[in-house]
């Protein structure tokens, strides 16, 4: 996937689109100026399954794994999810507000969900990310910057310090264009 294109609705091509109900309308007149990078794996530190998709679509079975019993009622989403093999899944159109940041602020602005794009990388705070993930992340960021006036690319830990640690110590910021 060399080139990613974002259409007028905020859908990325060639991403696989799986709609999440965990979204709503951005406040009127809000510009998208921030990209927030996260990490996620479900079950924790296990990769390749459907846990993230099930969480973001409110279909996580609380009996499938002990950790799921703690989180299955969360109403969360992200715009994008990049698997370790570089596969790109989109859950929320960029024009809509995904519920990824929670209580957050950036440069004096509260509620980062209002003005940001959430990008989840399949991973954890204790593992390095895969080369295909950086390649797709950079292609996605390039497409987003062509479409929206994005001026910042930050980690979840930057907008929710003390509450969040992702994308974690193994995320290599030097590999982000």
The answer to whether 58 and 22 have CB atoms below 8 angstroms apart is yes
Cis omega (within 30 of 0) for bond into 167? yes
Q: Which of 8, 70, 120, 122 is catalytic?
A: 120
Cβ contacts of 162 within 8 Å, gap of 6 or more: none
The answer to whether 156 and 168 have CB atoms below 8 angstroms apart is no
Enclosing H/E stretch for 88: strand 88-90
Q: How far apart are CA 24 and CA 93, in angstroms?
A: 10
120 is catalytic: yes
Q: How far apart are CA 60 and CA 46, in angstroms?
A: 15
Active site residues: 120
């Amino acid at each position: 996937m060399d080139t990613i294109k974002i259409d007028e609705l905020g859908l990325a091509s060639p991403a696989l689109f799986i709609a999440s109900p965990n979204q709503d309308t951005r406040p009127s007149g809000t510009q998208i100026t921030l990209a927030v990078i996260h990490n996620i794996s479900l079950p924790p530190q296990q990769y390749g399954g459907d846990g993230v998709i099930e969480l973001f679509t409110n279909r996580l079975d609380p009996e499938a794994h002990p950790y799921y019993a703690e989180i299955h009622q969360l109403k969360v989403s992200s715009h994008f999810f990049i698997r370790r093999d570089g596969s790109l899944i989109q859950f929320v159109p960029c024009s809509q507000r995904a519920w990824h940041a929670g209580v957050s602020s950036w440069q004096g602005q509260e509620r980062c969900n209002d003005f940001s794009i959430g990008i989840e990388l399949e991973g954890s705070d204790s593992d390095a990310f895969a080369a295909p993930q950086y390649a797709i992340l950079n292609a996605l960021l390039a497409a987003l910057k062509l479409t929206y006036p994005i001026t910042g690319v930050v980690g979840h830990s930057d907008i929710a310090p003390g509450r969040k640690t992702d994308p974690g110590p193994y995320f290599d910021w030097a590999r982000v264009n």
